[in-house]
């Protein structure tokens, strides 16, 4: 593509220059449109599973083209696990992989939304989701840092300093809050792609983002290791109690 990848402009050499705000907003809107098409308008529901700046290609007018479908899969009526699709482990790139994927091994549209949220925060802030950001005596990931600024009502401070304050305040706040909403640890709480597209166009308000980042919850149907241990111990305790109340003849009968 004439303008390379989004990654080139965020982290490449100085020959590309700094992406201005209108280009950043245009690129993210194009990504949202592409994701909406994959999830809702194509013949089959498709999950990309590797959303990141290096997979966003830019034409001469900085229109975004979503590329690299090497990990993409079409979903039928059921959600498939990575193992069922013949893939070992959890494919994708750390920082853009939804937390539930490490527990369920499922490819879902919600995990794509999480990846999109990571890219949104990255484009607005000009920082990779994998780096640690120092603040006072702590180190924050990008999403935790933005969430902290949101809680302190200073979210605009997260905008890339390289823009030299040349950005739309309302649009930047909308994108930062949208990025946090898409990064929600609980998959069911993330906005759907058809809503994301409307939020970016300004026809829908941004979903409510709580001041504190919610705690990850185990997906429905996936037992937590801790709860599994607790259940095992409870079963063992009940068995011991039942056994203690049995007569000798009852115990011998069970052994037989």
Distance from C-alpha of 233 to C-alpha of 222, rounded to nearest angstrom: 19
CB atoms within 10 A of CB 56: 26
- Token output for 160: 């890339």
Handedness of CA 79, 144, 56, 32 (dihedral sign): positive
- Token output for 69: 């479908």
Q: Is 43 a catalytic residue?
A: no
Distance from C-alpha of 243 to C-alpha of 196, rounded to nearest angstrom: 58
Q: Which of 13, 50, 144, 160 is catalytic?
A: 50
- Token output for 206: 């941004």
How, if at all, do strands 73-75 and 64-66 pair? unpaired
Please list the active-site residues: 50
């Amino acid at each position: 593509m004439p303008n390379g990848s989004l990654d080139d402009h965020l982290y490449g050499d100085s020959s590309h220059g700094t992406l201005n705000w209108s280009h950043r907003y245009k690129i993210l809107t194009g990504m949202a449109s592409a994701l909406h098409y994959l999830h809702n308008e194509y013949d089959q529901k498709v999950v990309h599973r590797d959303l990141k700046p290096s997979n966003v290609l830019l034409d001469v007018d900085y229109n975004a083209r979503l590329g690299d479908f090497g990990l993409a899969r079409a979903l039928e009526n059921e959600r498939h696990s990575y193992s069922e699709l013949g893939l070992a482990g959890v494919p994708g790139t750390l920082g853009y992989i939804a937390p539930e994927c490490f527990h369920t091994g499922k490819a879902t549209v919600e995990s794509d939304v999480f990846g999109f949220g990571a890219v949104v925060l990255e484009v607005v802030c000009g920082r990779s989701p994998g780096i640690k950001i120092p603040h006072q005596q702590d180190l924050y990931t990008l999403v935790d840092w933005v969430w902290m600024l949101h809680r302190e009502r200073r979210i605009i401070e997260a905008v890339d300093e390289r823009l030299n304050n040349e950005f739309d305040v309302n649009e930047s706040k909308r994108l930062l809050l949208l990025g946090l909403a898409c990064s929600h640890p609980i998959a069911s709480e993330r906005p759907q792609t058809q809503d994301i597209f409307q939020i970016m166009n300004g026809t829908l308000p941004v979903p409510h983002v709580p001041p504190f980042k919610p705690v990850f919850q185990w997906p429905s149907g996936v037992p937590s290791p801790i709860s599994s241990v607790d259940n095992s111990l409870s079963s063992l305790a009940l068995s011991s109690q039942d056994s203690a109340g049995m007569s000798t003849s009852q115990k011998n009968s069970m052994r037989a």
